[in-house]
Chain A
C-alpha cells in the first residue's frame, strides 16, 4: 500500500508477466533502432554495399561481404536483418511522431471545446463524431491520394485519421472533471483558473489519454505499414516495414517467403507488444475494472 503512485503503479504492472515481456520488447526495439548503425552488419541503403549476386538469398547465406545474412537478402541483395532494423526505425519514428502530434492537437481541440462550450463545442464535437464513424484507413487513403506521396503528407494523413480519438477522450474527461464539485469549489476560490486547470483538471484527464496514446501509436504504425504496402506511403528512399513487405510480396508466390515474412513478423511483434502494454495500462487506469 505504501509508496508513491508511480511505485504502486509499477508494482501492479509487474504482476502481469505478459505485459512486462511486452514492455521489454518495446524498449529493446526502441533501443535497437536508436543504435541501428552500430548494431547491424550492413548499412542497407548505401548502394555501394550491394551486389546483385547476393540477391534473394535464403536465411543463413554467407554473402560476398563475408558475413552471414541471418534472415536472408532481398531483391537488391540487401541484408534483410539490417533492412528490418532500419525499417523499424522509420515505422516507429512515424508512429510516435504521428501519435504525439495527434495527441497534442486532439487533446487541445477536445479540452478547449469543452471549456469554451456553446456552439463551438457542439460543432467541433459533431465533426469529431462524424470522423470517428468514418474508418481511419479510408480517410488516410483519401488524404494520401489527394496530397500525394511524402513524409509530411503521410504525417498529415495519419494525424487526421487519429486526432479524433484524442479529441473525444479529452472532451469527455475534461467535461466530466469540469462539473465535479471539487473543481467548481476550486474555481470559486481566488485561485487563478489556470492553476485549477493545471493542478486538477489536466492530471485527471491524462490517464485516459495515455491509454488512447498507446493504442494509437500501434494503430499509426499499422496504418502507415498498410498505406506503404498499398504504395501510398513513404517514398522509396525511406523504406518502412510496410514497403519491405510490399517489395517481397511478388516473391512470396514463388516461395521466397523470407523477404516478406520476416519484416512482417517484426511489425507484428512490435504492434502486439505495444497493444499488450496498452491493455495492461488501461486495465490499471480503469476504475470500473477494479474490485
Chain B
C-alpha cells in the first residue's frame, strides 16, 4: 500500500511538472511574455524593470525554472483589471463555485444511483424507459440551453425562483456561503439543477449498466439462492459491487463539473471562478487565465490521485496487492 501511494505521488508530481511546461510554452513562450505580466499601458521604464526582474533576457530553460519557482510560491502576479493579486482574487471567488459544484454532484449521485439501479433492475418497465429517456436528454442537451430554459420557465414565466446572483450569504469559517441562508438556497436551486443534469444522466447510465451486468452474474444468483430479500441483494451486494466505478466517476466528475460551472455561472451570473475566467478571457486579463489554468490542472491531478487511492481502499483486491 505504501509503495502504491509513493508511486502515485511521484506520477502526480511528474504530470504536474509536464502541465506547467505546457502552460509555460502555451502562454509565455508562444506569445510575448511581457504582455502576460504587464498591462499594455505601463511606461517603458517599468517595462524594462519587469523584464529584468522576471529574467526575460535569460535562456528559455532558466526562464521556465523561474516561472515554476514563482508558481510554487503561489505568485501569479496581479490582475490587470482588478489590480489585486490573482491568487487572492481566485480564492475569493472559489467558495461560490465550490458550493455550487458540490451541490450539483451530490444531488446527481443521490438521485442518479437509485434511479439507475432501478432502470438496471427492471429494464423493461415503463418507469425505466422514462428514466433512460431523461438520461439521453441530459446527455444530449447542452448545459447552456437547459440553463436558458430554466431561467425562462422558473424565472420569467412562473417567476417562482430567482434566476441570477448568489442571494444572501452567511459567514462560516470566515467565508461567505449561500447554502446557509434560505434566500441563498433559493438562488442556488436553478444553477445547481442546471449543473447537475449532465452528471445525473451519467450517474443513471453508470448505475444502470453496472446493475445490469451484476444482476446476470453468479453473485446475485448465489445470494438469491440463499434466500436473500431483493432489497438486500440490491442494497448490499449490487450497490457495493457497482460502487467502485461510481466513486471513481464521482471524483473525476467533480473536476469536470467545476469546469462546466463556467457555463452555468455565466448564464446565472453566479460570481464564481468560472465567471471570472470567462470575464478574464473577454478582457484579456492574462495573469488570471494562467493562474486558473495552473490551478485547474493542479486540481485535476489531485482529484485523480485521491480517486486512485480511494479506489485502492474500496477494492480489497487492490488494497492487499493480491496477496493470498
A/B contact in complex, CB under 8 angstroms: yes
Question: What are the interface flags for A211-248 relative to B under an 8 Å C-beta threshold, 1 for contact and 0 otherwise?
Answer: 00000001000100110011110000000000001000
Nearest-Cβ distance from residue B254 to partner chain A, whole angstroms: 11
Contact residues of A: prevailing secondary structure: helix
Nearest-Cβ distance from residue B12 to partner chain A, whole angstroms: 11
Contact of A230 among B145, B151, B263 (CB under 8 A): B263
CB distance B141 to A271 under 8 Å? Answer: yes
CB distance B156 to A268 under 8 Å? Answer: no
CA distance A272 to B259 in the complex (A): 23
User: Among A69-77, A100-108, A183-191, A250-258, which stretch is in contact with chain B?
Assistant: A250-258
Known: A231-B282, A257-B152. A272 touches B137 (CB 8 A): yes
CA distance A22 to B95 in the complex (A): 42
Contact of A130 among B15, B145, B266, B267 (CB under 8 A): B15
CB distance B259 to A135 under 8 Å? Answer: yes
Known: A230-B278, A249-B148. A137 touches B139 (CB 8 A): no
CA distance A267 to B146 in the complex (A): 12
CB distance A275 to B142 under 8 Å? Answer: no
CB distance B142 to A267 under 8 Å? Answer: yes
CB distance A275 to B144 under 8 Å? Answer: no
Question: What are the interface flags for B166-180 relative to A under an 8 Å C-beta threshold, 1 for contact and 0 otherwise?
Answer: 000000000000000
Question: What are the interface flags for B145-188 relative to A under an 8 Å C-beta threshold, 1 for contact and 0 otherwise?
Answer: 10011011001100000010000000000000000000000000
Residue B26 interfacial (CB < 8 Å): yes
Nearest-Cβ distance from residue B199 to partner chain A, whole angstroms: 12
Query: Could you say which residues of chain A place their CB within 8 Å of the CB of B144?
Result: 225-226, 229-230, 245
Residue B220 interfacial (CB < 8 Å): no
Residue B296 interfacial (CB < 8 Å): yes
Query: Could you say which residues of chain B place their CB within 8 Å of the CB of A268?
Result: 140-141, 145
CB distance A142 to B293 under 8 Å? Answer: yes
CB distance A267 to B15 under 8 Å? Answer: no
Query: Could you say which residues of chain B place their CB within 8 Å of the CB of A222?
Result: 140, 142
Residue A279 interfacial (CB < 8 Å): yes
Residue A182 interfacial (CB < 8 Å): no
Contact of B148 among A135, A146, A245 (CB under 8 A): A245
Residue B194 interfacial (CB < 8 Å): no
Residue B304 interfacial (CB < 8 Å): yes
Query: Could you say which residues of chain B place their CB within 8 Å of the CB of A271?
Result: 140-142
Name which residue of chain A comes closest to B252, CB basis.
A133
Query: Could you say which residues of chain B place their CB within 8 Å of the CB of A230?
Result: 144, 262-263, 266, 278
CB distance B145 to A252 under 8 Å? Answer: no
Question: What are the interface flags for A141-152 relative to B under an 8 Å C-beta threshold, 1 for contact and 0 otherwise?
Answer: 110111000000
Contact of A272 among B136, B260, B289 (CB under 8 A): B136
Query: Could you say which residues of chain B place their CB within 8 Å of the CB of A218?
Result: 140
Name which residue of chain A comes closest to B18, CB basis.
A130
Residue A264 interfacial (CB < 8 Å): yes
Name which residue of chain B comes closest to A144, CB basis.
B281
Nearest-Cβ distance from residue B64 to partner chain A, whole angstroms: 18
Residue A276 interfacial (CB < 8 Å): yes
Known: A137-B263, A141-B262. A226 touches B143 (CB 8 A): yes
Number of interface residues of B (CB under 8 A): 38
Nearest-Cβ distance from residue B308 to partner chain A, whole angstroms: 11
Name which residue of chain A comes closest to B213, CB basis.
A288
Residue B27 interfacial (CB < 8 Å): yes
Residue A138 interfacial (CB < 8 Å): yes
Contact of A252 among B30, B156, B293 (CB under 8 A): B156
Nearest-Cβ distance from residue B246 to partner chain A, whole angstroms: 17
CA distance A78 to B231 in the complex (A): 59
Residue B121 interfacial (CB < 8 Å): no
Best-buried of B139, B144, B155 by chain A (most CB within 10 Å): B144
Nearest-Cβ distance from residue A225 to partner chain B, whole angstroms: 6
Residue A134 interfacial (CB < 8 Å): yes
Question: What are the interface flags for B223-262 relative to A under an 8 Å C-beta threshold, 1 for contact and 0 otherwise?
Answer: 0000000000000000000000000000010011001101
Query: Could you say which residues of chain A place their CB within 8 Å of the CB of B142?
Result: 222, 225-226, 267, 271
CA distance A94 to B255 in the complex (A): 27
CB distance A252 to B300 under 8 Å? Answer: no
Residue A36 interfacial (CB < 8 Å): no
Residue A260 interfacial (CB < 8 Å): yes
Question: What are the interface flags for A161-187 relative to B under an 8 Å C-beta threshold, 1 for contact and 0 otherwise?
Answer: 000000000000000000000000000
Residue A261 interfacial (CB < 8 Å): yes
CB distance B148 to A252 under 8 Å? Answer: yes
CA distance A81 to B144 in the complex (A): 21
CA distance A264 to B147 in the complex (A): 11
CB distance A264 to B148 under 8 Å? Answer: yes
Name which residue of chain B comes closest to A146, CB basis.
B26
Contact of A138 among B137, B259, B304 (CB under 8 A): B259
CA distance A142 to B290 in the complex (A): 10
CA distance A134 to B262 in the complex (A): 14
In the assembled complex, 15 residue pairs joining A and B whose CB atoms fall closer than 8 Å, in A order, are: A130-B15, A138-B259, A141-B259, A141-B262, A144-B281, A145-B281, A226-B142, A231-B282, A245-B145, A253-B151, A255-B156, A261-B149, A267-B145, A272-B140, A275-B139
- Supply 10 further A-B pairs (C-beta < 8 A) apart from A141-B259, A226-B143: A138-B259, A142-B289, A146-B30, A226-B144, A253-B156, A255-B156, A264-B145, A268-B140, A272-B141, A275-B140
